[in-house]
Amino acid sequence: MTKTTADSADPGPNPGRRGFLAAAGGLVAAAGAGFAMPPAVAAAAPTAAAPPPEATPGSEVAGKPFHGEHQAGIVSPAQGQTYFAVFDLVTPRRSDVEALFRTWTDASARMARGDTAKPLADDLSVAAGDGGEAIGLPPARLTITFGFGAGLFTRDGQDRYGLAAQRPAALVDMPRFNGDQLEPAATGGDLSVQACADDPQVAFHAIRQLVRLAEGVAQLRWTQTGFNAAFAATETGRNLMGFKDGTQNPQTPPHRLSTDPKPTADRDAVVWVGDEGPDWMRGGSYVAVRLIRIALEHWDRTEVDFQEQVVGRHKHSGAPLGGKDEFDPLDLDAVDQDGNPVIPENAHVRLGAAAVNDGAQILRRAFSFNNGIKFTAERWPPWRQGLEYDAGLLFVAYQRDLRTGFIKIFEPMAKLDAMNQFTTHVGGGFFACPRGIKPGEFLGQDLFKSS
């Protein structure tokens, strides 16, 4: 009945990492056993447990349900922090992959409710089943979202695990877009795992424990931390370029402090895979991830009205050019007295609009990143070389089909968007995120059963 004994089966009313400590911390100390709790003490703990954090809807500390029809962390409001991790599979054995997915499922469900990744053993003479760095912390809305890259199915033309026939047609290789400067060390990968939480230590803890559990089977290929600022629930958040970001995002609340949105048919049609299959992807989604460095020094030196022409919106209000309110519809046909478009032909907001992309939409769930500074050759006069911000956008977008979603929208943007003067895509990948996991199931279970 407690998270510290390896032999307890029923978690009971879950007090989470924090509740456990409140209930049992003194007893542990009194027992003098350091990290472990004697079974007799453990059995007594739940009666004194604090209420489960999950019982507080909307609480900053509450856990998000891990199990469900869809994976968590896709349509739920973005948290304040993320750690995005991409793994390469290093095992030749299908059974290793399946075992990893079972282990990851159990650990993720535990961590999502604020628990350790594995139960902690009484025996201190072994490495702990959890490093302990999140003990005492609430779940902080932790979500863990899994994706499968092309490499799970085939690599170098080989069917690695007997899964090649199950590769979805929609999981295409990432095209080379105009302007791409992708670094191989930050691109591609076989598995994606995104941990999002309101506490960076909770997100890092989740990835770190999953890395430990993957030893010998999968190893990290690239990672990126990210954050979203805590804008008020009534506002669309501003990004590192100082503009409101997400006004047009389909039916998602603008930022992390909002409450969960009601699902709508429109959003669901954008995000979730339907009958087109394969079966194991029904209720899943495809994620496009792009690491986009932004030349913030350059941007900060440009005039406000120029920035507004680049974006196609007013900086302060967020209204489209020619409009007054942030949520005014984009009038892409409006022209000024000289017959020029009010929203320029190459404005970011025009090129991203569904109206110019045959109705194509994606669900953006992006984070900003700040990796400090890095030696960089500037792309603008006087072409200095020096230490520049290694910061920008960890772009994460979900859609039912990458070909009619991100690729459809971004292919022309990569050529025409005025914002490209300031952005450089340096990494990323495409991943198929299977449907949600129900209690008793494991990640990708349908995939292994159907092939």
Residue of the chain from 319, 396, 413, 443 that contacts its own copies (CB under 8 A): 319
Cβ-based nearer residue to its own copies, 21 or 334? 21
Other beta carbons within 10 angstroms of residue 349's beta carbon come to 21
Write down the residue that tokens 């079966």 correspond to. Answer: 279
Decide: 282 and 106 in contact? Cβ < 8 Å: no
Distance of closest approach, residue 29 Cβ to its own copies, in angstroms:
4
Judged by beta carbon, residue 133 or residue 276, the one nearer its own copies is: 133
Shortest Cβ distance from residue 323 to its own copies (Å)? 9
Task: Find the binder of its own copies among 11, 39, 52, 242 (CB under 8 A).
Answer: 242
Question: How many CB atoms are located within 10 Å of the residue 441 CB?
Answer: 14
CA distance 310 to 313: 8
Structure-block tokens of residue 321: 């050019």
For the CB of residue 277, give the shortest distance to its own copies in the complex, in Å: 35
Smallest gap from Cβ 414 to its own copies, in A, equals 25
Given candidates 29, 48, 55, 335, which one binds its own copies under the rule CB under 8 A? 29
Q: What is the CA radius of gyration of the chain?
A: 23
Whether residue 84 contacts residue 227, with contact meaning beta carbons closer than 8 Å, is answered with: no
Q: Smaller CB distance to its own copies: residue 173 or 305?
A: 305
- The answer to whether 437 and 70 have CB atoms below 8 angstroms apart is no
> What's the min distance (Å) between Cβ of 81 and its own copies?
8
Give the whole-angstrom CA distance, residue 75 versus residue 196.
Answer: 12
- The answer to whether 238 contacts its own copies (rule: CB under 8 A) is yes
Question: For residue 15, what are its two tokens?
Answer: 């007090």
| Phi, psi for residue 367 in degrees, rounded to 5 | -130, 155
* Structure-block tokens of residue 152: 């799970």
Site for its own copies in 371-390 (CB under 8 A): 371-373, 386-387, 389
> Which amino acid is it at 305?
D
Shortest spacing between CB 247 and its own copies, in angstroms: 13
Answer yes or no whether residue 140 interacts with its own copies by CB under 8 A.
yes
CB atoms within 10 A of CB 102: 16
Query: Can you name the residues that pair with 369 across neighbouring β-strands?
Result: 392
Comparing CB distances to its own copies, the nearer of 43 and 121 is 121
State the Cα–Cα distance between residues 226 and 291, nearest whole angstrom.
11
Q: Which pair of tokens denotes residue 308?
A: 């507004």
Nearer to its own copies, 28 or 170 (CB): 28
Strands 385-399 and 363-364: antiparallel
Binder of its own copies out of 28, 257, 332, 394 (CB under 8 A): 28
How far, in whole angstroms, is CA 399 from its chain's centroid? 13
Q: Shortest approach of its own copies to residue 419 CB, angstroms?
A: 15
| 317 is a contact residue toward its own copies (CB under 8 A) | yes
Out of 44, 128, 172, 233, point to the residue binding its own copies (CB under 8 A): 128
Residue 34 or 157 having the CB closest to its own copies = 34
CB 64 within 8 A of CB 154: no
Q: How many residues bind its own copies (CB under 8 A)?
A: 82
CB of 354 to its own copies, least distance (A): 24
Stretch that binds its own copies, among 51-59, 106-114, 324-332, 358-366 (CB under 8 A): 324-332
Footprint (CB under 8 A) of its own copies, residues 193-232: 198-202, 204, 208, 212, 219-225, 227-232
By CB under 8 A, the residues from 384 to 423 that bind its own copies are: 386-387, 389, 391
Classify 432 as helix, strand or coil: strand
Strand partners, 225: 83
Is 323 or 352 the residue whose CB approaches its own copies more closely? 323
- Cβ closer to its own copies: 195 or 402? 195
- Supply 432's token pair: 């198929």
Binder to its own copies among 7, 9, 10, 30 (CB under 8 A)?
30
Instruction: Tell me the C-alpha distance between 276 and 432, whole Å.
Output: 14
Pick 48 or 269: Cβ nearer its own copies: 48
* Span 278-307, contacts to its own copies by CB under 8 A: 296, 299-305
The strand pairing partners of 130, in sequence order, are none
Question: Given candidates 12, 13, 58, 132, which one binds its own copies under the rule CB under 8 A?
Answer: 132
200: Cβ contacts below 8 Å, ≥ 6 apart: 81, 83, 225, 227
Q: Is 87 in the site for its own copies (CB under 8 A)?
A: no
Member of 69, 260, 325, 336 binding its own copies (CB under 8 A)? 325
Q: Which stretch binds its own copies (CB under 8 A): 69-77, 133-141, 172-180, 422-430?
A: 133-141
